[in-house]
Amino acid sequence: MEEEEDLVVVISRSIVIPRNAKKSTSSKKKIHLLPWDLSRLRFGYLQRGLLFSKPYPKIDTVLSKLQTSLSLALDRFYPLAGRLVKTKNDDDTVSFYINPDGSGVEFVHASATNIEVSDILRLSTTLSSFFPATGVKNCNGVSRSLLMVQVTEMKDGIFIGFGYNSTVADGDSIWKFLNAWSEICSKGLVPEPCQRRLQLKGWFFEEIEYPIRIPDPEAKAARVTTASSGLQELMFHVTKENALKLEAKANDEKVSSLQAVLGHLWCSMVKHSGMSREEETHCRLPIDMRRRVDPPLEEDCFGNVSQTGIARVTVGELMDNGLGWAAGKINDMERSQTHENAEASAEKWVRDVKIPVSVGSKDLVVTSSHRFDVYGNDFGWGKPVAARAGPPYVSGRMVVFQGVEEGSLDFQACLLPQVVEKLSEDVDFKEFVSIVL
């Protein structure tokens, strides 16, 4: 396969600012960061993308419409157009906050005329160069835009890739922003919901003083993994029917269909991992805390209001107890994500600050959500044919998207080649999961 960097050529770079940036930035207050924001400062920007097939307008028209509508959308979702600010304290610590100053969003136009839509669907070409924030860490948001966009014209389609700083927004917020941006682009006007004042998450940990003081996350160089480093990317597809079958198979634990699917993926991945029975394995997934904190936040509250929940078991326990038990452990973990537990965890973190570079390689790392409206993003030339994720790459990563068919699930997996080989031969695994290599 040809080197991807040779196939994707950057045509232009520009900055898109909110339409009313000069009028409104003076009234915007700084946004302080919570422990679950600060703990991500050394992680890479999260990157997602939407794939569109022909027909669509000429590329100049596409770029103009996207930039104009993005400027309008940023008027409401103004934190995305800001920058991180790092202040040095007198005790050799630093503090961070978001300055919603309207500095703007980096916008890249690229060309990859030798790559086809089918290449992206099959992941037969690596995707790093289709995304604008590859290699950028969250702490770099002091000088880089908190949202970056790249529009790549392909042989028979367009790929809109974006990267975002996960201290400013979680998946729920970023997809709601994309839903609004696409609607503005398609209709040429700002819909009524986007004219309402944006609700920010605020500060809800009463026992923690802000700004929080932490060691400088840039003091030790931390390289973000941008290449696949021997890992293999592939797509898993689970039909609605098979998700319900897995739920029924695990029904003694009264779990959801998604928890049952995740339990199946977790058991199967660990089964072929080569880990010993005594080793601990984790299932990590984002938990939306908007309705879990006290008092609850509005569901459309903007910001990073997600924390990572971790189900911990040994390999032996997972292999001996199977699907229903694994799904039950995921369910137990989700149910434990209360305001009290989140506050206790945040207070503990402040007393003993840890800012990791990445998560463990022996984990099932679930990101995104099947609830995010991916296929409703029609910018004016039809709905996307697929959604894909970009770097950073982590072994065991599973980016979940809603499937094209209602109720189905797609997972973009990143695994060791030997695990992929064994999964492709595992009849029990493939009974419920289709593999797209």
Asked which of 180, 214, 248 is the last residue of a domain, the reply is 214
Residues 210, 237 within the same domain: no
Residues 311, 238 within the same domain: yes
Residues 200, 299 within the same domain: no
Within a domain: 387: no
How large is the C-alpha radius of gyration of the chain?
21
SS3 of 274, please? coil
Residues 208, 267 within the same domain: no
Within a domain: 419: yes
Residue 430 burial (CB < 10 Å; 0-12/13-18/19+)? middle
Residues 295, 402 within the same domain: yes
Give the integer Cα–Cα distance in Å for 401 and 48: 10
Residue 169, CB half-sphere, CA atoms under 13 Å: how many?
Answer: 32
Pairing of strands 364-367, 280-288: parallel
Cβ neighbour number for residue 340 with a 10 Å cutoff? 11
Number of domains composing the chain: 2
Continuous H helices in 250-390 = 257-271, 315-335, 339-351
Residue 153 pairs in a beta bridge with 111, 158
Got the DSSP string for 97-159? EEE-----EEEEEEEETT--HHHHHHT-S--GGGSTTTT-BGGGGGTS-SEEEEEEEESSEEE
Within a domain: 4: no
Residue 103, CB half-sphere, CA atoms under 13 Å: how many?
Answer: 19
Residues 160, 309 within the same domain: no
Asked which of 179, 214, 249 is the last residue of a domain, the reply is 214
Residues 270, 311 within the same domain: yes
> Cis peptide before 132, with omega less than 30 degrees from 0?
no
Give every CB contact of residue 377 below 8 A, 6+ residues apart in sequence. 50, 178, 179, 182, 383, 384
Give the integer Cα–Cα distance in Å for 130 and 51: 11
Residue among 8, 18, 11 nearest 63 (CA): 11
Asked which of 187, 214, 241 is the last residue of a domain, the reply is 214
Residue among 332, 336, 372 nearest 182 (CA): 372
The confidence score (pLDDT) of residue 129 equals 94
Give the integer Cα–Cα distance in Å for 148 and 48: 11
Residue among 287, 393, 387, 406 nearest 339 (CA): 287
Based on the residue annotation, tell me whether 320 is a catalytic residue of this protein.
Answer: no
Q: Hey, what are 193's tokens?
A: 């919901």
Residue numbers of the chain with a pLDDT score lower than 50: 1-3
Within a domain: 404: yes
Q: CA dist 260 to 170, 176, 309, 318, Å?
A: 24, 27, 16, 14
Within a domain: 350: yes
**91-116 b/e (C-beta count within 10 Å ≥ 16 → b):** eeebbbbbbbbbbbbbbbbbbbeebb
Within a domain: 119: yes
Residues 197, 263 within the same domain: no
Domain that holds residue 283: 232-370+392-436
Residues 237, 209 within the same domain: no
Residue among 59, 53, 73 nearest 12 (CA): 59
Q: Determine contact, residues 52/119, Cβ cutoff 8 Å.
A: no
SS3 of 369, please? coil
Residues 210, 307 within the same domain: no
Within a domain: 375: no
Give the integer Cα–Cα distance in Å for 334 and 331: 5
Residues 209, 261 within the same domain: no
Q: Determine contact, residues 248/263, Cβ cutoff 8 Å.
A: no
DSSP secondary structure letter of residue 80 = G
Residues 341, 255 within the same domain: yes
**For the chain, how are helix, strand and coil distributed in percent, rounded to 5?**
35, 25, 40
The confidence score (pLDDT) of residue 2 equals 41
Domain CATH for 262: 3.30.559.10
The single residue of 101, 216, 288, 378 carrying the catalytic annotation is: 378
The confidence score (pLDDT) of residue 371 equals 95
Within a domain: 380: no
